[in-house]
Structure 1
Amino acid sequence: MSGDRGKDIAEGSTVNDQQQTPSRYESQKRRDWNAFIQYLRNHRPPVPLSQCNYNHILDFLRYLDQFGKTKVHIQGCIFYGQPEPPAPCTCPLRQAWGSLDALIGRLRAAYEENGGTPATNPFASGAIRVYLREVRECQAKARGIPYKKKKKASGNQGKGTEESSSTVHFS
């Protein structure tokens, strides 16, 4: 009987460990939130979360660029607009748009989980959406990749999805 009890305890601990281990998303969200809070603390002067606004978030996103791994060609570069340049260049590395977009999503959720209200969430600001759109378009131009935006389905149930191109033409 004591052998069965030990088996139950061992099996139970496995289930509990799985339930207590945060998901990869939850772990990343916590790391991102802690990094942002640390950024606010290191700001001169330090910024309390209650006074944080979209400008602080934009500064944080620009600060993160120095740790980016995505080559973004500047307009004067001979490889500007080429998806696969044949040689290296001195253009800067930046955070990829997709990484920034995911980061903002996690920080937006973390803000509300840490007591913020949706109405006051600075990560949901229109200025943040505009910044992310500009980064996406700039990076697409620099790499020569047209961005395709899917149209919203309006009464086209059962039909193929239509796409409209937001392609930027280079001169």
Structure 2
Amino acid sequence: MTSPLYRLHQDVIFIFLSLHYNLFILSSTHLSLSLSICFLLFPLVISPFLAKNTQEFLHIHHHDNIMSAPHHDHSHRRKDSTPIEGSSSSSSRSTSQQQQAPQPLSRYESQKRRDWNTFGQYLKNQSPPVSLSHCNCNHVLDFLRYLDQFGKTKVHLHGCVFFGQPDPPAPCTCPLRQAWGSLDALIGRLRAAYEEHGGSPETNPFGNGAIRVYLREVKECQAKARGIPYKKKKKRNGQLKAINEGTLKQITS
């Protein structure tokens, strides 16, 4: 196929030869006028050919570029877009691991762990350090007395004017102690933690009778000093007894 530039070249030559031939056949008197007219008409005559052939050349050149461009295979893109079995299995494995993650400790378990670590640190600070396997009830009693310096419960002494008053009207210089209820709950958590760490219930120092005696003495002493008798459980037991007696009477009647 003839290229547009080659056809354009032929058209220009043809027009030029036609004009040249007309110049020779004109008379000498009209030569100057014919030359001026030819030079004026030459751009007007050749411009349509130039525009037409230029458009054809650009269109064919653009078409050739499209045809010569490499054909891209989009099959690999579809393959990439499809999910990979390995990635899906790994994501499902990660979600299952998240679901099987250990639940956060409860408030009781967290407090029990902190108490156990505190007691272990107390034994290490002794001179000489005491191991948990050699711990006995005397170490536990010393630990409870050691904790009194961090207490927040005012326990009036016998010489205090506010001794036995539940709501003293003014402050006093009596020491602060650990409340009986806090010590009792602490011993319960340490007793459970000792057995959870491999200790035997028979040799559990936190379940020793001396610990129960000490807690009972602290309870009675604080009840007298603060004027707050610990009779809530007894009242509750009396209420339950009265309720049970009432239900029995209703059943028998």
Indicate whether the TM-score tops 0.5: yes
Return the offset for 1:29.
0.3
Distance, in Å, in 2 between the alignment partners of 1:7 and 1:84 is 62
Aligned to 1:31: 114
Q: Which has the larger radius of gyration?
A: 2
Per-residue displacement from partner, 1:40-83 (whole Å, max 9, x unpaired)?
Answer: 00011111111111100000000000000000001100000000
Return the offset for 1:27.
0.6
Aligned to 1:76: 159
CA separation of 1:16/1:70 partners in 2, compared to 1, >3 Å: closer, same or farther? farther
Aligned to 1:103: 186
Q: Which is richer in helix?
A: 2
Distance, in Å, in 2 between the alignment partners of 1:111 and 1:120 is 10
Distance, in Å, in 1 between the alignment partners of 2:92 and 2:204 is 48
Query: Could you list the runs of 5+ residues in structure 2 that have no partner in the other structure?
Result: 1-82, 84-88, 247-253
Aligned to 2:176: 93
CA separation of 1:134/1:11 partners in 2, compared to 1, >3 Å: closer, same or farther? same
Return the offset for 1:36.
0.2
Aligned to 1:51: 134
Say how many residue pairs are matched: 155
Distance, in Å, in 1 between the alignment partners of 2:107 and 2:92 is 29
Please identify runs of 4+ aligned residues in structure 1 that moved more than 3 A.
Answer: 5-13
Give TM-score scaled by structure 2 length. 0.55
SS of the residue aligned with 1:147?
A: coil
Aligned to 1:21: 104
Aligned to 1:40: 123
Query: Could you list the runs of 5+ residues in structure 1 that have no partner in the other structure?
Result: 161-171
Aligned to 2:234: 150
Give TM-score scaled by structure 1 length. 0.80
**Would you say 1:159 and 2:242 are equivalent positions?**
no
Q: Which is richer in strand?
A: 1
Aligned to 2:220: 137
